[in-house]
Amino acid sequence: MEIKKFKDTEELSRAVAKYITALIKNKPEATLVLTSGDTPKRAYQLISEMGKSIDFSKCMIIGLDEWVGVGPKSEGSCRYIVEESLLKPLNISEENYTFFDSLSSDLATECKRVDKLILDRGGLDFIIVGIGLNGHIGLNEPGYAFGNYCHVTDLAQMTIDVGQKYFEAATPLSKGITVGLKHLLEAKTAMLMASGEKKAAIISQTVSSQVSPEIPSTVFQLHKDGLIWLDDAAGSMI
What's the CA gap between 94 and 107, in Å, rounded?
A: 21
Instruction: Name the amino acid, one letter, at 231.
Output: D
Separation CA 195–CA 188 (nearest Å): 23
Q: Is 136 among the residues known to form the active site?
A: yes
pLDDT confidence of residue 190: 98
Known active-site residue 134: yes
pLDDT at 48: 93
Structure confidence by residue, pLDDT tens digits, 164-223 = 999 989 999 999 999 999 999 999 999 999 999 999 999 999 999 999 999 999 999 999
Choice among 136, 151, 183, 223 that is catalytic = 136
pTM exceeding 0.75 = yes
- The average confidence (pLDDT) of the chain is 97
Query: Mean pLDDT throughout 70-80?
Result: 95
Asked if residue 52 has pLDDT above 90, the reply is no
Residue 15 lies in a domain: yes
CATH of the domain at 191: 3.40.50.1360
Instruction: Say what the pLDDT of residue 50 is.
Output: 86
Q: Does some domain include residue 144?
A: yes
> Residue 238 domain-assigned?
no
Mean per-residue pLDDT for 48-68? 93
Tell me how far apart the alpha carbons of residues 139 and 152 are, in angstroms, rounded to a whole number. Answer: 9
* Mean pLDDT computed over 89-113: 97
Q: What is the rounded average pLDDT of the residues 84-92?
A: 95
Contacts of 88 (CB under 8 A, 6+ apart): none
Annotated catalytic residue within 83, 141, 148, 151: 141
Domain count, the chain: 1
pLDDT at 101: 98
- What is the Cα–Cα distance from 95 to 185, expressed in whole angstroms? 26
Looking at the predicted structure, is the pLDDT value of residue 53 above 90? no
Residue 54: give the domain boundaries: 2-231
What lies within 8 Å, CB to CB, of 211 at 6+ separation is 218, 219, 221, 222
Percent of all residues in the chain with a pLDDT value above 90, rounded to a whole number: 96
**Catalytic residue among 66, 125, 134, 223, which?**
134
65, 66, 83, 101: which one is catalytic? 65
Q: Establish if 236 belongs to a structural domain.
A: no
Amino acid letter for position 39: T
* Secondary structure letter of residue 140 according to DSSP: B
pLDDT tens digits for 120-166? 999 999 999 999 999 999 999 999 999 999 999 999 999 999 999 99
Residue partners of 48: CB distance under 8 A and separation at least 6:
85, 86, 89, 90
Q: How confident is the model at residue 51 (pLDDT cuts 50, 70, 90)?
A: confident
Beta strand pairing call for 97-98 and 126-129: unpaired
- From the list 235, 232, 236, 121, the residue with the least C-alpha distance to 187 is 121
- Residue 102 is predicted with a pLDDT of 97
Task: Using the predicted structure, report yes or no on whether residue 20 has a pLDDT greater than 90.
Answer: yes
Q: What is the DSSP letter of 145?
A: -
101 is an active site residue: no
Question: Is there a catalytic annotation at residue 65?
Answer: yes
Q: Is 178 a member of any domain?
A: yes
Instruction: Specify burial of residue 35 (Cβ count, 10 A radius: 0-12, 13-18, 19+).
Output: buried
Q: What average pLDDT score do residues 99-117 get?
A: 98
Q: Is residue 186 assigned to a domain?
A: yes
